[in-house]
Homo-oligomer: A and B are copies of this chain.
Amino acid sequence: MPTDSSAGTLPPTDRTVLRRKKERGSHERELINTILDEALVCHVGFTTERGPVVLPMFYARIGDDLFVHGAAANDMLRHLDGGTLVCITVTLLDGLVFARSAFHHSMNYRSVVLFGVAERVTDPTTLRRVSAALVDHLAPGRSGEARPPTDEELRATRVVRLPIREGSAKVRTGGPIDDADDMALPVWAGELPVRLRAGHPVSDPQGREQPGVPAYISAHPLLDAP
């Protein structure tokens, strides 16, 4: 969870200005932060000598930086070290939109696309902050309870930082937008809202000293209110 939420807007650039449906685009940091903090998986794109690669990764935001992490031994992730251009995309699906015409079917979503140069983080103090931010991104408050990483565990983890400097958000909301000629068709049209939701927590049966489900799990943002 970010502690020093940034405000303002990102400067638009050639690759972040929408040329079509401009009303769906935004460079507002507040919107970008909200999407980054709500989603749990990002898709990291980078170019190798064999072409583009897109990998799903867990991440956390701390202020103006996005951190992704994986095993130090991960072959693919080595491409992210030292000055590599990356694109990191986060997408929240909010609804399926059914128009009367096949052509105007759509989706409601909120997405963020970030561009920049990634760099590996090796400073132990930052690595410890990132570790806490990652587990708190899974469940706010978790870092107060989980055993923090050892030096050895930090060395076995590859953490890459992307400063949030160039990027934009894109949002679609609302129902279908059919052509006027189609409005009288006897075809149901509307939206099916969707969202990620949690089921009942499953306690690890291996635990010898398993305490009860903590409040930050039973009140998890993805769980419905009881």
Contacts and interface: CB of A to CB of B under 8 A. Distances in A.
A150 B102 CA distance: 10
Contacts of A176: 204
B147 A100 contact: yes
B194 A196 contact: yes
Interface residues of A, number: 101
A35 B155 CA distance: 33
Contact of A52 (B86, B134, B190): B86
A146 interface: yes
B102 A55 contact: no
A158 B209 CA distance: 57
Interface string A116-148: 000000000000000110110011001101111
B217 A93 contact: no
Given A134-B102, A187-B145, A193-B199, A115 B51 contact: yes
Interface stretch (A1-9, A12-20, A26-34): A12-20
Given A44-B54, A45-B45, A102-B131, 10 more contacts: A41-B93, A45-B53, A100-B147, A101-B149, A103-B157, A146-B187, A175-B204, A175-B205, A188-B211, A194-B196
